Chains A and B, each alone.
Chain A
Amino acid sequence: DGGITQSPKYLFRKEGQNVTLSCEQNLNHDAMYWYRQDPGQGLRLIYYSQIVNDFQKGDIAEGYSVSREKKESFPLTVTSAQKNPTAFYLCASSITSGSTDTQYFGPGTRLTVL
């Protein structure tokens, strides 16, 4: 987990509210990613960013938004349009977006919708 921080660790949200999850890295990595983890489903890619001011949708982007204004930061907003937001959210980064680059993960944020 070293070098990538996520906050908060636990987050509770009422239905209809937007919430923003923080992800910061001090590894000087160009590429950053957001994944969602649900029991028994592995990890699914929400959004990714190769460089500052650029990002692309992953496999399950609906109901989420991101920004990449700084190299070290890649916040994820879970909007009220996300039908089932309760999940464990993981941020990752890699040196570049190259094929062989290893992705390193943060400690995660557990989001619960009340």
Chain B
Amino acid sequence: AQSVAQPEDQVNVAEGNPLTVKCTYSVSGNPYLFWYVQYPNRGLQFLLKYITGDNLVKGSYGFEAEFNKSQTSFHLKKPSALVSDSALYFCAVRPPRDTGTASKLTFGTGTRLQVTL
């Protein structure tokens, strides 16, 4: 069975500093990995995904994520954090081979990012 771990419930960073939100996964074979962001009382917004190719994936709002197969990680990063980046971030994983069933994402428990002035 596939699983996702987000080891930090909360990450605190000062505006202008780089940020990292950690994600590790467990799945058979090569995974498909996703990051979503959720603002209070809102749905999830898609940030980026890794399917294949370059291990560094660039996404929306200046975010990027690095896929590391040996460490089974897919950490979300941003070079310079903004106060408006404060939100709940979810990592999700899908196994690579689908038997024809719908896309069944497995989500982590989420990491709250707090960016302060």
Contact = CB atoms under 8 A, between A and B. Distances in A.
Nearest to B36: A105
Interface stretch (A13-21, A45-53, A78-86): A45-53
Nearest to A6: B43
Q: Does more than half of chain B's interface fall in helix, strand or loop, or is it mixed?
A: loop
A99 B97 contact: yes
Contacts, number: 77
Interface stretch (B67-75, B79-87, B106-114): B106-114
B42 A97 contact: no
Contacts of A106: 43
A50 B102 contact: yes
A42 B109 CA distance: 4
B49 interface: yes
Interface in B30-78: 32, 34, 36, 41-46, 49, 51
Contacts of A44: 107
A78 B52 CA distance: 38
Chain A interface size, under 10 / 10 to 19 / 20 to 34 / 35 or more: 20 to 34
Contacts of A107: 42-43
Interface residues of B, number: 29
B101 to A, nearest CB: 7
B104 A58 contact: yes
Given A41-B109, A43-B90, A98-B98, A103 B103 contact: yes
A28 interface: no
A100 B110 CA distance: 21
Interface centre among A31, A92, A99, A107 (most CB of B within 10 A): A99
B22 interface: no
A92 B105 CA distance: 11
A97 B107 CA distance: 17
Contacts of B98: 97-99
A41 B51 CA distance: 25
B95 to A, nearest CB: 8
Ranked nearest first, the 6 interchain pairs of A and B with the lowest CB-CB distance are A97-B102, A105-B43, A42-B107, A105-B44, A48-B102, A99-B98
10 contacts: A1-B43, A6-B43, A43-B107, A48-B101, A56-B102, A90-B43, A97-B100, A97-B101, A106-B43, A107-B43
